[in-house]
Amino acid sequence: MTSTQRSESANHMLKGYVPASCPMHLFVRQYMRLLFDRQSNENYEERRTKITLPAMKVNTPLEFHASKIYTRAMFNKFGEILYEAGQYRVEEIEKGSKYHVHRYHPEKHEKWCRVMYIVHVLSQGEELTCECGNFEHTGLLCCHSIKVLDFLGIDSIPSKHILKRWTKDARDILPDHLAHLQKDNISANSVTFRHSNLYTHALEVVKLGDANPAAYDCAMELLRAAMDKLTPLAADHDGLGLEHRIEMKKTNVKELSLIQAAHNGSISDDEGSAIGNFIGLCAPERKRKAGRPTNSRDKPPYDDRSGKSKKLKVTSQVDTVLGCGTSKRTRFCTICRGPGHKSTTCPQRGDMPQKKERTEMLNLRRGRTSKEHL
């Protein structure tokens, strides 16, 4: 895809979401909506590829190979191209290098329609070039190249014509420092490839050597010879071995914990685990009181009189002086607004008549009702 095609495709995609001459905040909102929709479509296609089975149309080896590598959407596109290749025939011009692909019944097509294409085969079938340029434009082989592959008896798509963006592993893209962990870039320089591969083969040797005494003697002899041969070779470490990396990580974590302990006053675990990388971010240790822990709830500040803060000490002294230390909240008078007493016992009442108690009022009411009945 050329730079012009990329810009035009980006413009076409944005025009469906962003209106013309819109403000910046609306552009950002619609752009985030576009990203959300694109990610949703990718997740749907990935789930569809994993769940649904491919539907074969021609049932050829090329179609079977395409069903293993391409996603469902791209496999349907490849099926259409494979179906279209059925209306062409191949003529060999130079054996193994140049072929002419003719259309059947050219008289049935328009005069401007092209009926013959030239396909070149390079590197003994590892690469093909066609005049139509469909692979350079879309990333999929054209029907003319597929017809030539079928003519040559090649039962798989060449690796140079398989683009990762159309395969099932298209989303398996990692940053540069983790690129060696990708499925298509796995190598002996990765972190765990060498260790896991050697471990698997060693277990297979143990399984075979444990079959009978003769196999055991042969396995032990081979292992001793391998150890003698590997000892001088393993003297130089490249730093990518699993055990060597674990030891280096432990030493780095211990050094980091000692440095952080001088500032934070705390030391991480002595095993050098990943927790040591988060020193200073952990929650502080809770100091538990002496004795057996209680099951009671944590009391609120106005209820907990054993607090050590100055505010609680001042309020407790005021409550004890005013005689309201047993209550949770301080009482205030409605007449003088003073704490520690009610309006019935306020010293500033003056000539105001005192309110009678509730019991006396009830007794008076009961007496009046009894006299009326009599």
Q: Does 241 have pLDDT greater than 90?
A: no
Lowest mean pLDDT among 199-203, 268-272, 341-345, 370-374: 268-272
Q: What pLDDT, on a 0 to 100 scale, did the predictor assign at position 192?
A: 64
| Rounded Cα distance, 55 and 362, in Å | 93
Handedness of CA 364, 365, 371, 374 (dihedral sign): negative
- CA-CA distances (angstroms) from residue 37 to 25, 34, 40, 44? 19, 5, 5, 10
Q: Does 125 have pLDDT greater than 70?
A: yes
Q: What pLDDT, on a 0 to 100 scale, did the predictor assign at position 289?
A: 73
Main-chain dihedrals φ then ψ at residue 121, nearest 5 degrees = -110, 125
Main-chain dihedrals φ then ψ at residue 314, nearest 5 degrees = -65, -45
Q: Does 138 have pLDDT greater than 90?
A: no
Q: Does 223 have pLDDT greater than 60?
A: yes
Which pTM value belongs to this model? 0.47
Average pLDDT over the chain, rounded to an integer: 76
Q: What pLDDT, on a 0 to 100 scale, did the predictor assign at position 356?
A: 53
Chain segment 276-297, per-residue pLDDT in tens: 445 455 666 677 777 777 766 6
195 or 158, which is more confident? 158
| Rounded Cα distance, 54 and 75, in Å | 8
Q: Does 40 have pLDDT greater than 50?
A: yes
Binned at pLDDT 50, 70 and 90, residue 101 comes out as very high
| Rounded Cα distance, 135 and 229, in Å | 50
User: Buried (b) or exposed (e) across 272-290, using 16+ Cβ within 10 A?
Assistant: beeebeebeeeeeeeeeee
Q: What pLDDT, on a 0 to 100 scale, did the predictor assign at position 146?
A: 92
| Rounded Cα distance, 273 and 250, in Å | 7
Binned at pLDDT 50, 70 and 90, residue 336 comes out as confident
Q: What pLDDT, on a 0 to 100 scale, did the predictor assign at position 99?
A: 92
Lowest mean pLDDT among 127-131, 139-143, 154-158, 175-179: 175-179
DSSP category for residue 28: H
Q: Does 170 have pLDDT greater than 70?
A: yes
Is residue 325 a contact partner of residue 319, using CB atoms and an 8 Å limit? yes
| Rounded Cα distance, 7 and 14, in Å | 11
Q: What pLDDT, on a 0 to 100 scale, did the predictor assign at position 222?
A: 92
What would the two tokens of residue 237 be? 């470490």
User: Buried (b) or exposed (e) across 42-52, using 16+ Cβ within 10 A?
Assistant: eeebeeebeee
| Rounded Cα distance, 106 and 100, in Å | 14
Q: Does 327 have pLDDT greater than 50?
A: no
Q: What pLDDT, on a 0 to 100 scale, did the predictor assign at position 281?
A: 59
- CA-CA distances (angstroms) from residue 265 to 48, 76, 220, 255? 54, 64, 53, 15
Binned at pLDDT 50, 70 and 90, residue 44 comes out as confident
Chain segment 192-219, per-residue pLDDT in tens: 667 777 888 889 999 999 989 999 999 9
